[in-house]
Structure 1
Amino acid sequence: LTSEQALELKEVPESLLIIGAGVIGCEFASIFNPLGTEITMVEMMERILPTEDKRVAQTMERIFKKRAINILTGTKLEEITEYREDGITARLDKGEKIEAEKILICVGRSPRINDMGLDELSLKISQKGTIVVNKKMETTQEGIYAIGDVIGGYLLAHVASEEGIIAAENATKLTSEIDYTSVPSCIFTSPEIGTVGLTPDEAEEEEMEVRIARFPFTACGKAHAIGETDGFVQLIVRESDDKILGGQIVGSHAADLVHEIALAIRWGLTAEQLSSTIHAHPTLSEAIMEAARKAE
């Protein structure tokens, strides 16, 4: 199954083998697990959600395992050895055989720009096979613009929408440039994940001196009131000027909450400014205020 075909299923499968435990794989595990499907996830990398912050991935893996989702990391699908009316048998690279009613392939996608006539336009193509653009979304040919998945980067609908606005403004002689520093990324698992800006690992790679502050939802009154205490808020704050550089949230409504951190990054707010902003009680957003307070 592809992700589209999985959404078109008329019946809930008894068992599901998911190849790839990235964003899409984890989202579908969150869809089918509550419906009673027995799920096995196979991921070639050493952890699920390999492109996300380690603590985020570890938290989600712990939650998934608590829900009896079988996770096999550092493992590859070798071949489908048997197709039957009632399912398939798959062999993994370590010799293990797994039977499942359905198999869902979630190993990512890449832009398809072949046969679009780009050679005739003499557009520059990157080594990754994406169209090269500048911050105005203009290609190497003046007056020709490109946005969305074909230029790589953030393969997200809301980013493509902003890129489209930037391209349209520049095409009509207004001067606009894209700013990717505060792009929120949301994963619609259960619980949700919301991330924006730098991760702790990225800050370390760039040899930046930062403070990392976390606040668990187990200490949040609203989270207890709604019975969803899994997860945390994490903030990355620059040591030299107290400015917020990044944030990760795992928890209920994380996809909505993350925008407060995005706003702080976009306009250069400090942890002190965020922590001194009164937040209503009881709310989930109090966790962001408390994380900022711990970062001071």
Structure 2
Amino acid sequence: MSYDVIIIGAGPGGYVSAVRCAQLGLKTAIVEGRETLGGTCLNVGCIPSKALLHATHSLHEAQHSFGKMGLKGAAPEVDWDQMKSYKDDVIGQNTGGVEFLMKKNKIDWLKGWASIPAAGQVKVGDETYATKNIVIASGSVPSALPGVTVENDKGIVVDSTGALELPKIPNKMVVIGAGVIGLELGSVYARLGTEVTVVEYMDAVCPGMDKDVQRSFKKILEKQGLKFIMGAAVQGVEALKSKAKVTYQPKKGGDDEIIDADVVLVATGRKPYAEGLGLDALGVKLTERGQIATDAKWATNVPGIYAIGDVIEGPMLAHKAEDEGMAVADVIAGKHGHVNYGVIPGVVYTTPEVATVGATEEALKAEGRKVKIGKFSFMGNGRAKAVGQADGFVKLIADKETDRVLGAAIIGPAAGDMIHEICVAMEFGASAEDIALTCHAHPTYSEAVREAALACGDGPIHA
């Protein structure tokens, strides 16, 4: 059997690329060794964590907000096994949907783990398939931390995958890392009644994010019960029979300190995964950080072999991989593939949500760019106050001379959806005034975006 394209990995980058290749008339196969399609994102990442975030947010609302709204009754009890079953059902619906897409588009699923014996060949199990093009979309895995051994099956020292399947709700949890994954899963367990302590090496949560958002976000999470130990270097984790001890070195110096926990979640980021593909033997070049090196058309230095998603440079985001998947399909089909890396949003799905796009104020000023800032608090937004989510703000960054929108940060309700208005504006090279002059429905959260745009000019109305 021979193909025009074989894609290795059925995560968001891989399966989207496969569908796009098939739509363009290319005979396509996808290789996946899991029992289900969808990769990390659908199976043990984005989708299951969002199911648990939704379930626990509903619990929090019932416990803390329903009474204020006149909804009386006993607070719901948590059935942890049923909650995990709900999460698994959500996974099944999504992974089943991807399998349907493969069948609909006549894409062959080569079940097993791939290796690449030579350019133009992909081996799966005992079978070797010929192909004109190979797309590596093998994704990423949780990063290891020196001095820490993760054993998900024991449920004491776990990574993000293990945190989705804990046998019981812990009384105390230590989260190592105040990035997106740590804060989302930390929020889940804090709502379930766990005492959550986040240990972070840097001085701010979500390193690299807008500093105004970092400060506000941390304060809001602290109000929700999360505790933070910042500027702390974890020295090791000792797993005992039913608990663990985390040893860390305070940045201010002094003796090492120890925290006890029932569960330790190691959430220190992710690293590219290309194990078993045989890239060394093929001579595929890697970057200094272990990513597959590609050119502007996602091609490696070996003709006919491309790479996309978490395994190459750039933010490890499912939607970035999807964009690259569609673009590389266009390139292989002889069309022009394009990804605007300057307009890729990032979202943290806590409550409130945090969403960003483009450059930060700090980065632009470091470049010597003259900018103007439009900021508007959700305290001035009627819809946000009506649903009890008035914490947070919209921050818009525009060029001081041209008024062109250069970036934005939102912390507030539905931030992950609202950010796309700004993404579209940036794609079209819009000015802050363009957003300010666009009628926004009332009452909506999105009015806060308009107010932030007005703040770049003569000033907002409701502040």
Provide the secondary structure at the position in 1 that maps to 2:355.
Answer: strand
Question: How far apart in 1 are the matches of 2:183 and 2:237?
Answer: 22
One of 188, 192, 195 as aligned partner of 2:349? 188
Work out whether residues 393 and 411 of structure 2, in 8 Å CA contact, stay in contact via their aligned partners in 1: yes
Q: In the TM superposition, what is the alpha-carbon distance from 1:256 to its structure 2 partner?
A: 0.6
Q: For structure 2, list consecutive stretches of 5 or more residues without a partner in the other structure.
A: 1-157, 251-255, 458-463
Q: What is the total number of aligned residue pairs between the two structures? A: 295
Read off the aligned partner of 2:247 and give its amino acid letter.
R
Question: How far apart in 2 are the matches of 1:142 and 1:179?
Answer: 24
One of 80, 92, 99 as aligned partner of 2:248? 92
Which residue pairs with 1:52 in the alignment?
209
Paired residues for 1:63-102 under 5 Å: 63-81=220-238, 83-85=240-242, 87-94=243-250, 95-102=256-263
Q: In the TM superposition, what is the alpha-carbon distance from 1:84 to its structure 2 partner?
A: 3.3
Q: In the TM superposition, what is the alpha-carbon distance from 1:82 to its structure 2 partner?
A: 5.7
Which residue pairs with 1:160 in the alignment?
321
Note if 1:205 corresponds to 2:366: yes
Larger displacement relative to structure 2 (9-18 or 274-283): 9-18
Which residue pairs with 1:39 in the alignment?
196
Question: How far apart in 2 are the matches of 1:89 and 1:118?
Answer: 39
Larger displacement relative to structure 2 (268-277 or 76-85): 76-85
Work out whether residues 176 and 265 of structure 2, in 8 Å CA contact, stay in contact via their aligned partners in 1: yes
Paired residues for 1:140-159 under 5 Å: 140-159=301-320
Work out whether residues 187 and 226 of structure 2, in 8 Å CA contact, stay in contact via their aligned partners in 1: no
Question: How far apart in 2 are the matches of 1:81 and 1:216?
Answer: 44
Read off the aligned partner of 2:244 and give its amino acid letter.
I
Which residue pairs with 2:272 in the alignment?
111
Question: How far apart in 1 are the matches of 2:280 and 2:163?
Answer: 36
Which residue pairs with 1:278 in the alignment?
439
Q: CA RMSD in A?
A: 1.4
Read off the aligned partner of 1:200 and give its amino acid letter.
E
Q: In the TM superposition, what is the alpha-carbon distance from 1:79 to its structure 2 partner?
A: 2.4
Work out whether residues 40 and 69 of structure 1, in 8 Å CA contact, stay in contact via their aligned partners in 2: yes
The CA deviation string for residues 104-150 of structure 1, in whole angstroms up to 9 with x for no partner, is 10011111335422234332221111112222212223332110111
Read off the aligned partner of 2:184 and give its amino acid letter.
E
Provide the secondary structure at the position in 1 that maps to 2:314.
Answer: coil
C-alpha change, 1:132 and 1:82, in structure 2 (3 Å) is closer
Q: For structure 1, list consecutive stretches of 5 or more residues without a partner in the other structure.
A: none
Question: How far apart in 1 are the matches of 2:456 and 2:417?
Answer: 22
Question: How far apart in 1 are the matches of 2:311 and 2:246?
Answer: 33
Q: What is the percentage of aligned positions where both structures have the same residue?
A: 38
Paired residues for 1:213-292 under 5 Å: 213-292=374-453
Question: How far apart in 2 are the matches of 1:290 and 1:215?
Answer: 6
Work out whether residues 81 and 90 of structure 1, in 8 Å CA contact, stay in contact via their aligned partners in 2: yes
Q: In the TM superposition, what is the alpha-carbon distance from 1:181 to its structure 2 partner?
A: 1.4
Q: In the TM superposition, what is the alpha-carbon distance from 1:211 to its structure 2 partner?
A: 0.5
If you compute each CA radius of gyration, which structure gives the higher value, 1 or 2?
A: 2
C-alpha change, 1:125 and 1:79, in structure 2 (3 Å) is closer
Work out whether residues 193 and 249 of structure 1, in 8 Å CA contact, stay in contact via their aligned partners in 2: yes
Question: How far apart in 2 are the matches of 1:237 and 1:80?
Answer: 45
Question: How far apart in 1 are the matches of 2:239 and 2:443?
Answer: 54
Question: How far apart in 2 are the matches of 1:10 and 1:120?
Answer: 42
Question: How far apart in 2 are the matches of 1:115 and 1:222?
Answer: 52
One of 330, 333, 337 as aligned partner of 1:172? 333
The CA deviation string for residues 180-222 of structure 1, in whole angstroms up to 9 with x for no partner, is 1111111112211111001101111211111011101111100
Question: How far apart in 2 are the matches of 1:141 and 1:178?
Answer: 22
Q: In the TM superposition, what is the alpha-carbon distance from 1:75 to its structure 2 partner?
A: 0.5
Which residue pairs with 1:23 in the alignment?
180
Provide the secondary structure at the position in 2 that maps to 1:93.
Answer: strand
Question: How far apart in 2 are the matches of 1:206 and 1:200?
Answer: 10
| TM-score between the two structures when normalised by the length of structure 2 | 0.62
Question: How far apart in 1 are the matches of 2:308 and 2:192?
Answer: 37
Work out whether residues 181 and 266 of structure 1, in 8 Å CA contact, stay in contact via their aligned partners in 2: no
Question: How far apart in 2 are the matches of 1:81 and 1:134?
Answer: 43
Question: How far apart in 2 are the matches of 1:131 and 1:287?
Answer: 41
Work out whether residues 329 and 337 of structure 2, in 8 Å CA contact, stay in contact via their aligned partners in 1: no
Larger displacement relative to structure 2 (130-139 or 52-61): 130-139
Question: How far apart in 1 are the matches of 2:315 and 2:239?
Answer: 37
Larger displacement relative to structure 2 (24-33 or 106-115): 106-115
Q: In the TM superposition, what is the alpha-carbon distance from 1:292 to its structure 2 partner?
A: 0.2
